[in-house]
């Protein structure tokens, strides 16, 4: 299970970066306040929702290249939610995203140590996100009641209505933004497995 997790996407890279950041803090004997690491994690959990809803579910673009990226990044994940190669963030997306987080944090706090702590928190949250997402899509029953609930919660997004339940690790932003529903109160979507009714002819899924 762990071997499969670290064999796909950018997960091994994320883990290596977290270890490197921890080693750098230890070597420099600069222990960042845990509150800054927590703040970085919380910042990620907000962008987790906004990225999923507004970027990954953005309407198909006119550019064939952009449309192909949209399929690779998320559309095809809805078509076949069990394919591990479609599940995780690719390194070529994760690296620029991490660099952007670092640049924004440094611009805001103007302190490299605090910015590094914020990045570390976001990296930890991103790796946790990838793990929760992974567990949601494999035949595995989480041991905790929350784990079982959040797995069912995410799968509602994939098998009942793709316009709801954008949270993966937690429902807080769905509740805040109005995209949370009790399962019985939501209508089943006809495009939950075929976003925007693109159809198989327009999807490059079979080409990979």
DSSP-assigned letter for residue 194: S
Contact 82, 4 (CB under 8 A): no
pLDDT band at residue 2 using 50, 70 and 90 as cut-offs: confident
Domain boundaries, the chain: 2-207
Q: Which two tokens mark 70?
A: 């949209």
Residue 189 has pLDDT above 70, yes or no: yes
pTM over 0.95? The answer is no
Query: For a pLDDT cut of 90, what percent of the chain falls above it?
Result: 84
pLDDT in tens, 28-58: 666 667 899 999 999 999 999 999 999 999 9
Dihedral sign from CA coordinates of 78, 45, 102, 19: negative
CA gap 14, 101 in Å, rounded: 14
DSSP 8-state class, residue 8: S
| Encoded tokens for 112 | 């490299």
Distances (CA, A) of 134 to 20, 141, 208: 24, 12, 21
Q: Kindly indicate the confidence band of residue 59, based on its pLDDT and cuts at 50, 70 and 90.
A: very high
pLDDT score at 104:
97
């Amino acid at each position: 299970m762990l071997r499969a997790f670290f064999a796909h996407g950018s997960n091994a890279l994320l883990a290596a970066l977290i270890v490197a950041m921890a080693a750098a803090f230890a070597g420099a004997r600069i222990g960042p306040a845990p509150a800054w690491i927590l703040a970085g994690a919380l910042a990620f959990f907000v962008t987790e929702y906004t990225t999923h809803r507004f970027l990954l579910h953005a309407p198909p673009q006119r550019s064939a290249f952009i449309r192909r990226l949209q399929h690779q990044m998320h559309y095809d994940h809805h078509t076949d939610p069990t394919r591990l190669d479609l599940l995780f963030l690719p390194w070529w997306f994760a690296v620029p995203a991490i660099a952007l987080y670092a640049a924004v944090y440094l611009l805001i706090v103007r302190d490299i140590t605090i910015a590094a702590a914020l990045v570390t928190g976001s990296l930890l949250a991103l790796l946790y996100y990838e793990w929760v997402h992974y567990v949601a899509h494999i035949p595995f029953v989480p041991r905790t009641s929350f784990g079982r609930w959040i797995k069912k919660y995410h799968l509602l997004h994939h098998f009942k209505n793709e316009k709801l339940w954008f949270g993966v690790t937690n429902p807080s932003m769905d509740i805040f933004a109005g995209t949370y529903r009790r399962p019985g109160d939501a209508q089943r979507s006809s495009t939950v497995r075929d976003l925007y009714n693109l159809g198989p002819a327009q999807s490059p899924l079979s080409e990979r």
